[in-house]
Chain A
Amino acid sequence: MRTSPTIRIELNGKPREFRDGATVAELVAELGLRPEVVATEVNRALVRRADREGRTLVDGDAVEVVTLVGGG
C-alpha cells in the first residue's frame, strides 16, 4: 500500500503533518471547521476565503486559522 507523501507545516504554532499538494481550503475542511467562521493566514499573509482553494500548502508553511470569540 502506497502512503501519500506528506509535508510538515506549522498550524497555529504547532507542528503538524499534512498531505502534500493539499490546499488551505482542504485543511480547513479536514479540521472540521465551518469555512465561513474562520479566516486563514499563511506565512503572516492573509489568504482570503475566495483564495483558499487556490493556495497549495508547501513544506514549512506557517498557517494560522482564526475565528471570532468573545471580547470587548
Chain B
Amino acid sequence: MIHENDGGTPAWLADEPLRIGEHVFTSRLFVGTGKYKDIEETRAALVISGTQCVTVAVRRVDLGAKGPSLLDAIDRERQVILPNTAGCYDAASAIRTAELARDVLDTKLIKLEVLGDPKTLLPDPVGTLEATRELVKQGFDVLVYTSDDARLGVRLAELGAVAVMPAGSPIGSGQGILNPYAIRILLELVQVPVIVDAGVGTASDVAIAMELGAAGVLLNTGIASAREPLRMAAAMRDACSAGRQAFLAGRIPRKLYANASSPLEGLIHAAGRPGTS
C-alpha cells in the first residue's frame, strides 16, 4: 500500500521566515558560488538547494576572459546576492571591498570576513570588530563571519551586525561542527540571527547546526566539491529543513538507560525471564 503525501506543507509544519536586515527568507540555507565546474552547474546547484541567498566574491576583472558573468547564473528574483570580503586580511581592505560590492550590486548586505592568514583562514577578531563598526556606520547590513567565541559574537551584535556567523570549523575543511557546546552558548547569548558558516562537510553537519537552534547555515565547498554537487545540494536542502523541524519539535533528552517504547504490561504467559541488572 502506498501512502501518498504530496499535499505541500501542512499548516502545523509551517515555520516563521528568517529576517535579515530588509530581507525575509523562507529557506534557511545560504549557499556560496565558488568552486563549481562552470556557470551552468552553479546555477543548477543554487536552484536545487532551494537557497534564497547566495554569496559572491569581489575580484579584479580578468581582462582576457570574455565568458558569461557569474551574475548570469543567479536568478535575482529568487536569490538575494550577499557579497563577501573573502581574502581580506585587514579591516581597511574589507571596507574597500564592501564599498566596491555595494556599488556593483546596489545592496546594503555584506558578508564580512577579516581573516588572519591564508593557511587557517581563521577570522581575525580585532580586524573583524573594527570593520564591523565602520561598515555599520556606513549603513551596511553586516553579516559577520567570526569564530565560535560567544563573547565576541555578543560584541559584534552590539555593534549592529544583523547576523553573527560562527565557523563550525575552518573554511572548506569539511570537519563539521567541532564544538557544539560553544555554538549553543553563542546561540543563547547573541540576540541577532546566528548563521553557522564554514566547515560543513555533509548533510548531517547542516542538520546538527540547525538542531542546535542556528537560524541558518551557510556553506559552499560541501556542495561544490562533492562528487555529485547537484545531489549534495538536494541533501543539504533536506538536512536544513529536517534539522530546523527537529529543533522546533524539541529533541528528547539523552539518557543513559533504555526506555521501552512498547508497554511492559500485558506480555504473553512465560515470555521469558529477564536477566538481572
Binding site for B on A (CB under 8 A): 12-13, 31-34, 36-41, 44, 46, 48-49, 64-72
Other than the given A71-B32, A72-B32, 5 more pairs (CB < 8 A) read: A44-B96, A66-B58, A68-B56, A68-B71, A71-B86
Q: How far is the CA of A3 from the CA of B101 in the complex (A)?
A: 37
Contact residues in B for A41 (Cβ distance below 8 Å): 96, 100
| Contact A38–B55 (Cβ < 8 Å) | no
Q: How many residues of B contact A (CB 8 A)?
A: 36
- 3 closest pairs, A vs B, by CB? A71-B57, A72-B32, A72-B220
Knowing A34-B69, A72-B34, say if A46 contacts B103 (CB, 8 Å).
Answer: yes
When chains A and B are docked, how far (Å) is the Cα of A63 from the Cα of B99?
15
Nearest-neighbour CB distance to chain A for B107, whole angstroms, equals 11
Does any Cβ of A come within 8 Å of B189's Cβ?
Answer: no
**CA–CA, A47 and B124, complex, Å:** 28
Contact residue among A12, A44, A70, A72 (Cβ-Cβ distance under 8 Å from B61): A12
Complex Cα distance A70/B84, Å?
10
A18 to B168, CA, bound (A): 48
Contact A71 B33 (CB under 8 A): yes
Can you list 25 residue pairs at the A/B interface with Cβ under 8 Å?
Answer: A12-B60, A31-B61, A36-B104, A37-B71, A37-B104, A38-B61, A39-B58, A39-B101, A40-B103, A41-B100, A46-B100, A66-B60, A67-B61, A67-B70, A67-B104, A68-B59, A68-B69, A69-B34, A69-B59, A71-B56, A71-B84, A72-B84, A72-B86, A72-B172, A72-B220
Tally A-B pairs: CB < 8 A.
Answer: 98
Q: Tell which of B55, B66, B103, B105 touches A72, judged by Cβ atoms closer than 8 Å.
A: B55
Inter-chain contact B96/A68, CB cutoff 8 Å: no
Residues of B within 8 A of A70 (CB): 32-36, 42, 56-57, 70
What B residues does A48 contact at CB under 8 A?
103
Interchain CA distance A41-B101 in the complex, whole Å: 11
A33 to B59, CA, bound (A): 14
In the complex, what distance in Å separates the CA atom of A10 from the CA atom of B60?
13
